[in-house]
A and B are shown apart, each in its own frame.
Chain A
């Protein structure tokens, strides 16, 4: 960023005679003094204006800086705009001591502003990335189908849920019955999405019957292969072999 701080400009009067008060339409136009910040292309100024009604009676350019790059001027303008309470102080000091008195202060404020803006952008990027990851995670959670073991009204259930949506469940009177089915069902994870798709149109009991049938067939096949565990949970040690 290159900045030049010119010598304090002589008090300039914007179209008004410094020796005469402007005649306003209002006979009782009240004089008001105000300090303002102005940006004109690549120049930033602090102005001390004496207004008479709406007419400018006297203007003093308290401080002025020409920036090589209009973007730098914009940065300076925005940085100084953040401190309206200090404008009056700066205008008095710069008028009394010259623009050089204010130059280091202004540079520090602009530097601070630019640094904060970069940091806030990085922070915003980080937050956006985190939000994106969270959204992805939530989206994945919403599409992922999970098998849960649940106890309901003295019944032992297995449920299939996508996100918070329970789309299928099966109930057993005995716990071991559920565990027997669960031994088979937990090896069907790759088909859960297929079950969810089926349930969009299909009937819950139809799916239940279908799955129980498949479990019994698997038990028979495993038993024939001599891999069954025997007892109430023949697929207890089955690990999904065909």
Chain B
């Protein structure tokens, strides 16, 4: 598990832990003790006007992903109208091939919501009682609980990375489905710790990566193309309660994708980037040529934009 974003809320004094609603996520059963001190209140982050219509719903950077802004806006509206001043969205599945920008989208959500983001692969996602006897980390709770404890935040964004080439077992998928299902996750029981956890404020993003179509000489070795697809227990929950967004990197929308990435990199840098610099970064992304059928991986675009930003900033300092 990897924490990818320490949100600004942790750094800025106006949004310190005392300002956010406290919330207890662990309730021990009987005489047991909640792990990692989670029986004490932790924060629910992402308020402070972010949920307003002019807040994160209107921040640039995700327009190349069809339907995503509406999804985020609806999540914010529901939270706000229910009087909950912290960020939470229903389970979101992002389906797409490698490099299409699923990770960047999850990062945008966490960054603009002001909540920490954790990435977990399906392999890392150990459920209580699933092979724990053979592992040294048996004493550790499962990943979402660890994420909440590590960030002192009851509503982090947790990205679950799934790959069609290594799908989770049916048991694991069913276990994850219980965790992400808002009808059941408010009273999720960890049998190992005899503790009831409230996972209902976690915003889940499930990234499903399809197999990239191979080109040229490697076409035979790469095997058939497998479209990204949610495992069926997860699909049932996400399709009923959350949203499935199929991401692509169509040639026709490439300019918008690169524009969003340039804006996203500038915003995430924390620097005061002026429009001219941002324009130059966007223009520099044009150097990475793409074919009509094969997109430039999002990570390459981000790296290039970051390098351009560093170069332009250092020039300005000189």
B-contacting residues of A (Cβ < 8 Å)? Answer: 11, 13, 16, 18-21, 23, 30-33, 48, 50, 52, 57-58, 60, 85, 88-89, 91-93, 95-98, 101
Q: Give the shortest distance, in Å, between A143 (CB) and chain B (any CB).
A: 56
User: Does A32 contact B70, Cβ atoms closer than 8 Å?
Assistant: yes
Binding stretch for chain A, among B26-34, B36-44, B139-147, B253-261: B253-261
- Residue of A11, A16, A19, A96 touching B259 (CB-CB under 8 A): A96
- Residue of B69, B77, B256 touching A89 (CB-CB under 8 A): B256
Given A85-B252, A92-B263: A20 touches B52 (CB 8 Å cut-off):
yes
Given A18-B52, A32-B70: A58 touches B77 (CB 8 Å cut-off):
no
Binding stretch for chain A, among B55-63, B154-162, B171-179, B232-240: B55-63
User: Does B53 contact A18, Cβ atoms closer than 8 Å?
Assistant: yes
What's the Cα separation between A188 and B76 when bound, in Å? 94
User: Does A33 contact B70, Cβ atoms closer than 8 Å?
Assistant: yes
Chain B residues whose C-beta falls within 8 Å of the C-beta of A52 in the assembled complex = 53, 77
Q: Residues 52-93 of chain B: 1 if any A CB is under 8 Å from the residue's CB, otherwise 0?
A: 111001101001000001100110110011000000000000
- Looking at chain A's contact residues, the main secondary structure is mixed
Q: Is B150 an interface residue (CB 8 A)?
A: no
Q: Give the shortest distance, in Å, between B84 (CB) and chain A (any CB).
A: 13
User: Does A60 contact B58, Cβ atoms closer than 8 Å?
Assistant: yes
Q: Is B2 an interface residue (CB 8 A)?
A: no
What's the Cα separation between A98 and B282 when bound, in Å? 14
Given A13-B54, A19-B52, A21-B53: A31 touches B255 (CB 8 Å cut-off):
no
User: Does B81 contact A21, Cβ atoms closer than 8 Å?
Assistant: yes
- Can you sample 13 A-B contacts with CB below 8 Å? A13-B54, A19-B49, A19-B53, A21-B53, A32-B70, A50-B57, A50-B73, A58-B53, A88-B63, A92-B63, A92-B256, A92-B260, A96-B278
- Looking at chain B's contact residues, the main secondary structure is helix
- Residue of A30, A88, A93, A95 touching B70 (CB-CB under 8 A): A30
Given A50-B73, A92-B256: A11 touches B60 (CB 8 Å cut-off):
no
Chain A residues whose C-beta falls within 8 Å of the C-beta of B80 in the assembled complex = 20-21
Given A92-B256, A96-B278: A48 touches B58 (CB 8 Å cut-off):
yes
User: Does A50 contact B53, Cβ atoms closer than 8 Å?
Assistant: yes
User: Does B260 contact A16, Cβ atoms closer than 8 Å?
Assistant: no
User: Does A19 contact B54, Cβ atoms closer than 8 Å?
Assistant: yes
What's the Cα separation between A236 and B260 when bound, in Å? 90
Q: Give the shortest distance, in Å, between A62 (CB) and chain B (any CB).
A: 10
What's the Cα separation between A23 and B52 when bound, in Å? 13
User: Does B53 contact A20, Cβ atoms closer than 8 Å?
Assistant: yes
Chain B residues whose C-beta falls within 8 Å of the C-beta of A93 in the assembled complex = 259, 282
Q: Is B275 an interface residue (CB 8 A)?
A: yes
Chain B residues whose C-beta falls within 8 Å of the C-beta of A23 in the assembled complex = 81
User: Does A97 contact B58, Cβ atoms closer than 8 Å?
Assistant: no
User: Does A30 contact B54, Cβ atoms closer than 8 Å?
Assistant: no
What's the Cα separation between A33 and B69 when bound, in Å? 6
User: Does B70 contact A31, Cβ atoms closer than 8 Å?
Assistant: yes
User: Does A89 contact B70, Cβ atoms closer than 8 Å?
Assistant: no
Q: Give the shortest distance, in Å, between A26 (CB) and chain B (any CB).
A: 12
Tell me the B272-308 residues at the A interface (CB within 8 Å). Answer: 275, 278-279, 282
- Residue of B49, B54, B69, B256 touching A11 (CB-CB under 8 A): B54
Q: Give the shortest distance, in Å, between A14 (CB) and chain B (any CB).
A: 11
Q: Give the shortest distance, in Å, between A100 (CB) and chain B (any CB).
A: 9
10 closest Cβ pairs, A-B complex: A58-B53, A18-B54, A31-B73, A57-B53, A31-B74, A33-B69, A89-B256, A19-B52, A21-B77, A97-B275
Q: A32-B70, A57-B53, A96-B263 are in contact. List 19 more A-B contacts (CB 8 A).
A: A11-B54, A13-B53, A18-B52, A18-B53, A19-B53, A19-B54, A23-B81, A30-B74, A31-B76, A48-B58, A58-B58, A60-B58, A88-B256, A89-B63, A89-B253, A89-B259, A97-B279, A98-B275, A101-B275
Q: Give the shortest distance, in Å, between B311 (CB) and chain A (any CB).
A: 19
Given A18-B53, A92-B256, A96-B275: A50 touches B63 (CB 8 Å cut-off):
no
What's the Cα separation between A17 and B73 when bound, in Å? 15
Chain B residues whose C-beta falls within 8 Å of the C-beta of A11 in the assembled complex = 54, 58
Chain B residues whose C-beta falls within 8 Å of the C-beta of A21 in the assembled complex = 52-53, 76-77, 80-81
Q: Give the shortest distance, in Å, between A85 (CB) and chain B (any CB).
A: 7
Query: Most chain-B CB neighbours within 10 Å: which of A30, A52, A89, A91?
Result: A89
Chain A residues whose C-beta falls within 8 Å of the C-beta of B263 in the assembled complex = 92, 96
Residue on B nearest A18 in the bound complex, by CB: B54
